[in-house]
Amino acid sequence: MTSWFPKKRSLALPPLERCLPGRPERMAVPATHAVSGARLEPPFPAGTELALFGMGCFWGAERCFWPHQGVYSTSVGYAGGFTPNPTYEEVCSGRTGHAEVVRVAFDPARVSYRELLEAFWSLHDPTQVNRQGPDVGSQYRSLILVGSPEQQAAAMESRTALEASGQFPERIATEIEEAGPFWTAEEDHQRYLEKRGLWSCHTR
């Protein structure tokens, strides 16, 4: 039987006409977060805002936001591409256009979006193009998906400031785009590290 997936992962985003078709059904996920006990899916408490970050493997990206006071809940999924309700294997094929992302539901009265941006920049290498460490592919690209003009202004200002700081000798490769649909990942990928007693995606 012919495989759906190429043998090598593509680093370039596919054109829309070459993307996989996906499916209309959304992934089923638990009602609550295993760590915080908070809801994984809307509706969230009144006043909650959302932030979407792609920073490599979403297993570790999710865990990095848990210690921040004011973060109500996190969930991992796929965004920035074309295929509706993709599976993990489809995203890894490079034929959906999506990045692995973490959705952070937060209380802006307790933690600001700018503070989350600072965490985002500090927790991965934003100069890498379509990779983080040993993980290679367009699904691992550095990405900020903004949900408002205020988030866009803050994200662009923080990227400009980081570039001017000289902290990284290479050019910042992080993309800043308007947020589109967020497709929740399969239940097995939610809280992946916590379930397995791991501290990061590649080490115990």
The pTM for the full model equals: 0.87
Which H or E element spans position 193?
A: helix 192-196
In DSSP terms, which residues pair with 49 in a beta bridge? Answer: 106
Backbone angles phi and psi of 60, in degrees to 5: -75, -35
| Token output for 19 | 């993307």
Q: Which residue numbers in the chain have pLDDT < 70? A: 1-12, 198-204
Question: CB burial class (10 A; 0-12, 13-18, 19+) of residue 78?
Answer: buried
| Helix extents (H) in 52-179 | 58-65, 88-92, 113-122, 149-165
Instruction: Single out the catalytic residue among 57, 64, 92, 201.
Output: 57
Q: For residue 138, what are the CA distances in angstroms to 29, 75, 94?
A: 25, 20, 7
Nearest to 154 by CA among 51, 46, 72: 51
Residue 168 carries which side chain, given as an amino acid letter?
F
Residue 120 CB contacts under 8 Å (≥ 6 apart), including other chains: 53, 55, 144
| Token output for 148 | 């408002």
**pLDDT at residue 204, as a whole number:** 39
Per DSSP, the three-state class of 150 is: helix
**What is the rounded CA–CA span in Å between residue 94 and residue 12?**
8
| Token output for 146 | 């903004």
DSSP category for residue 19: S
**pLDDT at residue 69, as a whole number:** 92
CATH number of 40-196: 3.30.1060.10
DSSP category for residue 54: E
**pLDDT at residue 13, as a whole number:** 77
57 catalytic? Reply is yes
**What is the rounded CA–CA span in Å between residue 138 and residue 153?**
25
